[in-house]
Amino acid sequence: MKYYIIAGEASGDLHGANLMRAIRECDADARFRFWGGDAMAAVAGDPVKHIAELAIMGFVEVVGHLPAVLGNIAFCKRDIVQFAPDVVVGIDYPGFNLRIERWAHSHGYRTVHYISPNLWAWKKGRIKGMRSSLDALCCILPFERPFFAANNMPQAVYVGHPLLDAVADYKEAPLPVGADGRPIVALLPGSRRQELKKTLPLMATLAGRHPEFRFVVAGMSLVGEELYSRLAPNTDNLCVLFDRTYDILSHSYAAVVCSGTATLEAALFDVPQVVCYRANPVSVAIARTVVSRRIRYISLVNLIADKPVVTELIQRDFSLNRLEREFALITEDGDNRARMLSQYADTRALLGGGGASFRAADIIINVAK
């Protein structure tokens, strides 16, 4: 069968690659056409569009790139018609994928959305449109099950979190740093240029104050090396390694992480962390007016646990003084580290077992049939 799959970000590329492998194990004749990155390309060849062209976030930023976004939507529709897939699968990336899925369903294509948008936080009104335009919705967070059941979305199925499989399948590799015995601290500043500009300079300043640690930035080659070298020049105790996030986390004593998928990845690798986030003030102001007041956290770890497992430094709280204070707690305070690691284990238990990619693949194949 023919599968048209759309991933627009680095995390979607990872999950898309594992999903395609699972589909191929169940459907030996599977043919893919996809939007994604290097991980998906390793499975099925060159993407139609690479995620390096697609990663945009924030209200203000999207408006600035609106002509490109609209152009991609028009191109995607034409490309789907030409490929004539048995099913269209959107992986996360809801601003784009939900529009494509709505159009595709209205034109007779079967549709599945993998990794639900955060409707429990904001834009709950999208449920009505998704109910009429999706044949299946694959959810990856445990609290989404009762949410969608209460909101009459029978297409929603909990498949588990794909990061459990990604981390379980990881095989540890050595790092070309750390030979001098200093503990390694992972710096995960995000995967988008906007995030890097807001987070990496302060992370680099923290590194300059702590020569007793070796700080390693988890860089993304799709962003380009020049930006990293400008924001965080290499020093005696600071370097950037590209496309080796799991290698870095597997060797790390602690981490400073930009909010996002990486917060859960750090937790699954049992790395105590401080979570930070800073964005365009206008985008944040708009978000605060539309996000549900019931949502108290921004990191996946805290959202899943529904309690403050990790400290979140957001906007003005993401200052050098606050970062220093919280960094000390995760590196010097044995009790605080032990508490965090214990709560990581509880969070992992809430997610259940692995197998998310295969459960999602089974749903997608059945929809395609």
Q: What DSSP letter does each residue of 6-43 carry, written as one string?
A: EE-SHHHHHHHHHHHHHHHHH-TT-EEEEEB-HHHHHH
Residue 95 in this model has a pLDDT that exceeds 90: no
Distance CA 121, CA 276 (A): 19
CATH number for the domain that contains residue 144: 3.40.50.2000
Give whole-number Cα distances, 278 to 30, 199, 225, 328, 356, in Å.
41, 7, 22, 21, 31
Residue 29 in this model has a pLDDT that exceeds 50: yes
Residue 220 inside a domain? The answer is: yes
**Across 100-109, average pLDDT:** 97
Residue 165 inside a domain? The answer is: no
Look at residue 3 and give its three-state secondary structure.
Answer: strand
Residue 29 inside a domain? The answer is: yes
* pLDDT tier at 65, thresholds 50, 70, 90: low
* pLDDT tier at 319, thresholds 50, 70, 90: very high
339: alpha, beta or left? (left if phi > 0; alpha if psi -120 to 50): alpha
* pLDDT tier at 57, thresholds 50, 70, 90: very low
Instruction: Report how many domains make up the chain.
Output: 2
Residue 169 inside a domain? The answer is: no
Q: In this structure, are 359 and 334 located in the same domain?
A: no
**Across 35-45, average pLDDT:** 95
Residue 68 inside a domain? The answer is: yes
Q: In this structure, are 207 and 144 located in the same domain?
A: no
pTM value? 0.85
Residue 38 inside a domain? The answer is: yes
Residue 59 in this model has a pLDDT that exceeds 50: no
* pLDDT tier at 60, thresholds 50, 70, 90: very low
**Across 136-141, average pLDDT:** 95
Residue 176 inside a domain? The answer is: no
pLDDT, greater one: 324 or 293: 324
Q: In this structure, are 238 and 103 located in the same domain?
A: no
Q: In this structure, are 25 and 7 located in the same domain?
A: yes
pLDDT at 280: 60
Q: In this structure, are 142 and 267 located in the same domain?
A: no
Residue 238 burial (10 A CB sphere; 0-12, 13-18, 19+): buried
* pLDDT tier at 179, thresholds 50, 70, 90: low
Spatial contact of 114 and 161, defined as CB atoms under 8 Å apart: no
- Looking up tokens 């993998």 gives 114
For residue 242, what are the β-bridge partners? 219
Residue 298 in this model has a pLDDT that exceeds 60: yes
Which of 238, 234, 226, 236 has its CA nearest to residue 185?
A: 238
pLDDT at 117: 86
Residue 248 burial (10 A CB sphere; 0-12, 13-18, 19+): buried
Q: In this structure, are 192 and 203 located in the same domain?
A: yes
Spatial contact of 92 and 9, defined as CB atoms under 8 Å apart: yes
- Looking up tokens 């569009």 gives 49
Residue 299 in this model has a pLDDT that exceeds 50: yes
Q: In this structure, are 201 and 271 located in the same domain?
A: yes
Quote the strand ranges of 220-361, DSSP E: 238-242, 252-258, 273-277, 311-314
Q: In this structure, are 56 and 151 located in the same domain?
A: yes
Q: Regarding beta strands 2-7 and 87-91, do their DSSP bridges make them parallel or antiparallel, or are they unpaired?
A: parallel
Residue 62 in this model has a pLDDT that exceeds 70: no
Residue 58 in this model has a pLDDT that exceeds 80: no
Range(s) of the domain holding residue 100: 2-160+354-368
pLDDT at 289: 47
Q: Name the percent of the chain lying above pLDDT 90.
A: 70
pLDDT at 292: 44
Residue 39 in this model has a pLDDT that exceeds 60: yes
Residue 137 in this model has a pLDDT that exceeds 80: yes
pLDDT at 229: 92
Average pLDDT for the chain: 89
Distance CA 350, CA 97 (A): 28
Q: In this structure, are 292 and 332 located in the same domain?
A: yes
Q: In this structure, are 87 and 136 located in the same domain?
A: yes
Residue 172 inside a domain? The answer is: no
Q: In this structure, are 33 and 145 located in the same domain?
A: yes
Q: What would the pLDDT profile of 276-296 be if each residue is shown by its tens digit?
A: 998 765 444 444 444 444 567
Q: In this structure, are 155 and 198 located in the same domain?
A: no
Please give the angle made by the CA atoms of 166, 268 and 237, to the nearest 5 degrees.
100
